[in-house]
Amino acid sequence: MDVRERLASNMKKLRKARGWSQEVLADEAGLDRTYISGIERRVKNPTVTVVERIAKALKCSLGALLD
């Protein structure tokens, strides 16, 4: 599994565990919902800064998203 697949899978799992929609995560991270969708579908390649924003919104470490 490549890093984008791991990120997409972990992000979706953590988001759903909180009962959040993509829109809620996007609002919490200060991103657009379509961008969150693109990351989860592995069509967007986010920067480390964006991944950090998502991790902060999900209250997890960068490692939790990338491992």
Q: What is the pLDDT of residues 15-45, one digit of tens each?
A: 999 999 999 999 999 999 999 999 999 999 9
Q: Can you say whether the dihedral through the CA atoms of 4, 48, 14, 36 is positive or negative?
A: negative
Q: Which two tokens stand for residue 2?
A: 């490549």
**In angstroms, rounded to a whole number, what is the distance separating the alpha carbons of residues 36 and 41?**
9
pTM of the shown model? 0.93
- Whole-number mean pLDDT of the chain? 97
Residue 1 reports pLDDT greater than 90: no
Q: What is the pLDDT of residue 5?
A: 96
Q: What is the pLDDT of residue 37?
A: 98
